[in-house]
Amino acid sequence: MIDLSSNARQILKARYLRQTDRIETPEDLFKRVAKHIATVENVNKNLWFDRFYKVMRNLEFLPNSPTLMNAGLPNGQLSACFVLPIEDNLNAIFTTLKNAALIHHNGGGTGYNFSKIRPKDDLISSSEGSSAGPVSFMKIYDTATEYVKQAGKRRGANMGILNINHSDIEEFISSKSDLHSLQNFNISVGITNDFMYALEKDKDWQLVNPRTNKVSKTLSAKKLWDSIIEQVLKTGDPGLIFLDTINQNNPLNKLGKIQSTNPCGEVPLFNYESCNLGSINLKKMVVQNSTNIEIDWKKLERTITIAIRFLDNVISCNYFVLPQIQEITLSNRKIGLGVMGWAELLIMLEIPYASNKAVELAETVMKFIHEKSYNASQLLAKKRGCFPSWKQSSFSPHMLLRNATCNSIAPTGSISIIADTSYAIEPLYALAYKRTGILENTTQMEINATFVDKMKSLGLWSEQLHSEIIEKGSIQHVKNIPTHLKNLFKTSLEISWKYHLLHQRAFQRYTDNAVSKTINLPNTTTFEEVSEIYKTAWKYKLKGITIYRNGSRDNQILQLCGFN
């Protein structure tokens, strides 16, 4: 039997295990997936089946949810991430809406940049009427998403972007201020370096109508920035996406500009491009020596090599709902291997998240993953050929690669529950918390098992500690706990935003796609702090930034899985 937590069993049963004549067991599920992914292998199918199965059943590596749900099914869409085009005409807008519905229906999430759409009340020559504007079309997308739920398992998810110079940017910035609107959207302002320079120099900024290219309004960059920060403080939205940073690091910039990411921001993609993700459970990448626990680098390398091959195979045995998606996805062959369980690994190594040692280790670990991922992709290129658009990429002519990108840090909102570990690179949210939403209408109390184990091993666990933790979710206030343990078990809101950002930067440095991270902030966080966080994110060359101020939305699901 696989060693699964009770949460993992629940979530698998509710959403992942196939129910035909009999219900799949988790073993069946991982076998179904491994078998499908191994069909791509010409020789040694059984050997690869075995390897793929083992890394999943040992919870060392898991692919994104759609692969777990759909592999082996007829027309099984295996990718989680898509970007679709938005053009400024009704036909195109509703064609993309239909395509988004097909993608959502099969468990994928879609991102779009709405900046080509003419502003609200602009002229429509064919009807002599006036246009609805980008925000109205987003609302239509949102409503459609609400009604296309994938067999009740996974509803659609969208990323909506509007560029900072669009005439309707002010309306967009406050489009989620009413907490009931655009619930199926994450929204981000598309920021350019020019805007950030204007902000630094306190200059004016021009808003432009994309249909006429004429300036529709001039206002101070600072005023516009402040309106973003005010909204973010109130609701957490909008996030920012740094378009120039993304395109400066785009190995396929000869093919055009990237304008959008998938819903959680970890994959910048061209229009119609899709990407499939997978994450290594770092908690499982350790070895116990006689005196202490260390990272097992050999095991990590082996796992990376298997995972990259797995993800490359996914592209070859994937089902694409549209020919355009198939064409560009097969041409660039982007994959995103990332991590989960980073916080738990740090705890096992007794390194506090909020420490320079942790940030340094983050760089070391991600550099290693990046290098070994590229080695694996290079090896595949030698056997299977480079990705077809390779000649137009910045890797040509010297660096053979099978995949235009190899790494992304996804939020792992669901798969980290299956693997029973902490989300992606996030610190522990709390040591004990009520979790709602794993299954509809259920709320359960949870205490972090790694914490309990540690306390027990030190002889510090007691009934009294148990009830104190349940009450506060933290040990910072508990007497008789040594300072080094208090530091080790600081939770997300107890960690300064500076360390949240340093971790995001450390991982971004060695991630060719992007890093999904929520900078969780206490309720008392000020306007100035949020402004500084957003500015620092740009200076750090992050590709995007999202914050959440505790308590700023009333329907908060305590955990960070977001969409459930």
406 is catalytic: no
Contact between 427 and ligand 5AD (CB under 6 A)?
A: no
Please give the DSSP secondary-structure letter assigned to residue 222: H
Instruction: Extract the runs of DSSP E, i.e. beta strands, from 71-121.
Output: 81-83, 109-113
Neighbours of 479 (CB within 10 A): 5
Minimum distance of ligand 5AD from residue 267's CB (angstroms): 11
386 is catalytic: no
Contact between 156 and ligand GDP (CB under 6 A)?
A: yes
Neighbours of 516 (CB within 10 A): 30
Residue with tokens 């990429």: 393
Residues making up the chain, counted from first to last:
564
Q: Which DSSP string do the residues of 169-187 spell out, in sequence order?
A: HHHHHTTTSSTTTTTTEEE
Which residues are within 8 A (CB) of 291 and not within 5 positions of it... i.e. 6 or more apart?
A: none
Cβ proximity to ligand 5AD, 179 vs 379, nearer residue: 179
Contact between 71 and ligand GDP (CB under 6 A)?
A: no
Cβ proximity to ligand 5AD, 305 vs 511, nearer residue: 511
Contact between 188 and ligand 5AD (CB under 6 A)?
A: yes
Cβ proximity to ligand 5AD, 72 vs 544, nearer residue: 544
Contact between 154 and ligand GDP (CB under 6 A)?
A: yes
- Burial annotation 149-187 (CB, 10 A radius, 16+ → b, else e): ebeeebbbbbbbbbbbbbbbbbbbbbbbeeeeebebbbb
Of 56, 199, 264, 404, the one binding ligand 5AD (CB under 6 A) is 264
Residues 423-442 close enough to bind ligand GDP by CB under 6 A: none
Of 34, 38, 157, 335, the one binding ligand GDP (CB under 6 A) is 157
Stretch that binds ligand 5AD, among 36-44, 339-347, 389-397, 514-522 (CB under 6 A): 514-522
User: Residue 239 binds what, of ligand 5AD, ligand GDP, none (CB under 5 to 8 Å, by partner type)?
Assistant: ligand 5AD
Q: What is the rounded CA–CA span in Å between residue 331 and residue 317?
A: 14
Minimum distance of ligand GDP from residue 156's CB (angstroms): 5
Contact assessment for residue 205 and residue 165, using Cβ atoms and an 8 Å cutoff: yes
Stretch that binds ligand GDP, among 113-121, 153-161, 171-179, 475-483 (CB under 6 A): 153-161
Minimum distance of ligand GDP from residue 286's CB (angstroms): 22
Burial of 416 (0-12, 13-18, 19+ CB in 10 A): buried
In a 3-state reduction of DSSP, which class is residue 391?
A: helix
In order of 113, 153, 371, 375, 492, the CA distances from 442 in angstroms are 36, 15, 42, 45, 24
Q: What is the rounded CA–CA span in Å between residue 82 and residue 334?
A: 11
Of 72, 85, 109, 427, the one binding ligand GDP (CB under 6 A) is 109
Contact between 380 and ligand GDP (CB under 6 A)?
A: no
Q: Catalytic one among 99, 158, 262, 276?
A: 262
Residue 134: asked if its preceding bond is cis (omega within 30°), the reply is no
Q: Catalytic one among 64, 70, 184, 266?
A: 266
Of 26, 72, 268, 411, the one binding ligand GDP (CB under 6 A) is 411
Instruction: Extract the runs of DSSP E, i.e. beta strands, from 290-416.
Output: 293-295, 335-340
Cβ proximity to ligand GDP, 104 vs 490, nearer residue: 104
Contact between 104 and ligand GDP (CB under 6 A)?
A: yes
Contact between 516 and ligand 5AD (CB under 6 A)?
A: yes
Tokens of 362: 């983050």
Q: What is the rounded CA–CA span in Å between residue 33 and residue 44?
A: 17
Cβ proximity to ligand GDP, 264 vs 381, nearer residue: 264
Q: What is the rounded CA–CA span in Å between residue 481 and residue 468?
A: 12
Neighbours of 89 (CB within 10 A): 13
User: Residue 59 binds what, of ligand GDP, ligand 5AD, none (CB under 5 to 8 Å, by partner type)?
Assistant: none
Task: Please write down the long-range contacts of 353-358, taking CB distance under 8 Å and 24 or more positions apart.
Answer: 353/427, 353/490, 353/495, 353/499, 353/503, 354/487, 354/490, 354/495, 354/496, 354/499, 355/487, 355/499, 358/499, 358/503
- Give the total of residues touching ligand GDP (CB under 6 A): 24
Cβ proximity to ligand 5AD, 76 vs 562, nearer residue: 562
Contact assessment for residue 242 and residue 538, using Cβ atoms and an 8 Å cutoff: yes
Q: Quick one: which H or E segment has residue 65?
A: helix 65-70
Minimum distance of ligand 5AD from residue 265's CB (angstroms): 3
Of 78, 81, 101, 428, the one binding ligand GDP (CB under 6 A) is 81
How far, rounded to the nearest angstrom, does the alpha carbon of residue 240 sit from its chain's CA centroid?
14
Contact between 405 and ligand GDP (CB under 6 A)?
A: no
Q: What is the rounded CA–CA span in Å between residue 408 and residue 426?
A: 14
Contact between 411 and ligand 5AD (CB under 6 A)?
A: yes
Cβ proximity to ligand GDP, 133 vs 156, nearer residue: 156
Minimum distance of ligand 5AD from residue 23's CB (angstroms): 29
Residue 498: how many CA atoms within 13 Å on its side-chain side? 4
Q: Catalytic one among 64, 99, 106, 264?
A: 264
Cβ proximity to ligand 5AD, 111 vs 210, nearer residue: 111
Stretch that binds ligand GDP, among 84-92, 100-108, 126-134, 324-332 (CB under 6 A): 100-108
Contact assessment for residue 276 and residue 513, using Cβ atoms and an 8 Å cutoff: no
Contact between 546 and ligand 5AD (CB under 6 A)?
A: yes
Q: What is the rounded CA–CA span in Å between residue 554 and residue 564?
A: 16
Minimum distance of ligand GDP from residue 406's CB (angstroms): 16
Judged by the rule CB under 6 A, the positions of this chain that interact with ligand 5AD are 186-188, 238-239, 264-265, 411, 413, 516-518, 544, 546, 560, 562
Q: In the complex, which residues of this chain contact ligand GDP (CB under 6 A)?
A: 64-65, 80-81, 104, 107-109, 154-157, 262-264, 266, 277, 410-415, 563
The set of catalytic residues is 262, 264, 266
